[in-house]
Amino acid sequence: MNTTFSLDPLKALSDRGYWCFPEISREVTLEARQLGIEHLFLDEPLKFSEMLLKGRIKQFEEAETLETRQVFIDRGIPDVTAYMNHFKQEYPQEFNEANDNYRYDHVFLFPIWNDIYTQDNERFEDLELAKNLQDALIKTYRDLDYELIEVPKSRIQERIEFILKSIQEK
């Protein structure tokens, strides 16, 4: 069973013994910087998105091979098209096909709120853009017929308990 969500509660889930795959966009961004490309997403959005899509498909496929009932993946394959659509970037049909071919069992949404949002060297979005991107993510997942499970704005342990309880109920 694969699950995806945004924000980083993965350490708490991993500490409880769950398989977790981290967000890979930071890795892709850092890799590009080592090659001299400061903002790969801004400079070459299609290349950045192709790398993300490839990496997220790899995570999904690896998760399918694990002998465990539950796997958590930080960020899903549809996130790629959500961002591309938001920024009005064209992309090949294979992006849409990936959304259709790789389906998650649960999608958790961690709403953005001012008290916890931070920018850093890899997260270029200010709070307003981050909220607009969240709207694009919600639209994309709903258009793909996912039921989004919104995680309450609370302490990390309460969010983890909510996630685990939500999975047990389904």
Strand ranges across the sheet with 71-74: 19-21, 71-74, 2-5, 106-109, 148-150
In this predicted structure, which of 30-39, 96-105, 108-117, 122-131 has the lowest mean pLDDT?
Answer: 122-131
pLDDT of residue 19: 95
Residue 8 has pLDDT above 80, yes or no: no
Distance between CA atoms of 111 and 150, rounded to whole angstroms? Answer: 7
Distance between CA atoms of 122 and 102, rounded to whole angstroms? Answer: 26
The CATH number corresponding to 2-169 among 3.40.50.300, 3.30.365.10, 3.30.300.130, 2.60.40.10 equals 3.40.50.300
Mean pLDDT of 43-51: 89
Residue 91 has pLDDT above 90, yes or no: yes
Residue 6 has pLDDT above 50, yes or no: no
**Residue 40 half-sphere exposure, CB side, CA atoms within 13 Å?**
20
Distance between CA atoms of 120 and 26, rounded to whole angstroms? Answer: 11
60 neighbors 73 (Cβ within 8 angstroms): yes
pLDDT of residue 44: 85
Residue 5 has pLDDT above 60, yes or no: no
Would you state the structure tokens that stand for residue 170, as one six-digit string? 């389904």
82 phi and psi angles, rounded to 5 deg? -60, -45
Distance between CA atoms of 8 and 6, rounded to whole angstroms? Answer: 7
Q: pLDDT higher for 24 or 118?
A: 24
